[in-house]
Amino acid sequence: MIATMRNLSSSSACRGFTLIEVLVTIVILAVGLLGLALLQTTSLSNQHEAYQRAQAMLLLEEMANRIRVNSVAARANEYPDGDQYGLLTEEDCTTKTVTAERDLCDWNTALAGSGVTLGGENVGSLVGARGCIEEIDGSVDDEHIIRLTIAWQGMTETTAPSSACGEDAFGNDGFRRVASIDTVLANLAFLPPIPTPTPTPTPP
């Protein structure tokens, strides 16, 4: 009788330990799955951030190339300072006859993302994109420098950028992202003259 009770007690203890092991395994598995889900979420967020920054650089390079091609108008301040590009009312840019006006119109349309719509909303550009143009001081050689900046809303909070483009436009400034490029228009009149090569004397 005593032996039977001891066997029952030992069996109950084994079942108790087995249940604890199962519970510990479930907890470890749940923590691992949560970590995997967090890793996947972070990876998707980083991919989206990288995609948006790549899009911003493409838009900046395109506008900078237009300004370089139209450097005479750029020196005449036909690309005015402003932080409203991407927010202006969209127009038919093909009706613009002045090159600088058409460039600005096309840039505004590209920043607004109207090329792709979903449910009536523009989704063809960065989130909350806006472009800024700022003329900054050049060198003593009469360089003309135009700084192009694009601001947009990021996915996670980071340190607020120093640029003022889009400042306070997204609530918490830690979500603001910016990318800039300086378009330098050199004054060719200040280039040093090309020296004339000295002729080599012909030996007698």
- Average confidence (pLDDT) per 10 residues, the chain, 204 residues: 49 63 88 87 83 93 95 92 91 92 95 78 82 84 88 90 91 93 79 63 63
Report the predicted TM-score, pTM, of the whole model to 2 decimal places: 0.73
- pLDDT, residue 46, reads 81
- pLDDT, residue 2, reads 47
146-160 as b/e: b if 16+ CB within 10 A: bbbbbbbbbbeeeee
- pLDDT, residue 8, reads 45
Question: Which residues are paired to 118 by β-bridges?
Answer: 121
- pLDDT, residue 40, reads 81
- pLDDT, residue 196, reads 66
- pLDDT, residue 188, reads 66
What is the rounded distance in angstroms from the CA atom of residue 41 to the CA atom of residue 37? 6
- pLDDT, residue 3, reads 46
- pLDDT, residue 193, reads 59
- pLDDT, residue 190, reads 55
Q: Read out DSSP for 10-29?
A: HHHHHHHHHHHHHHHHHHHH
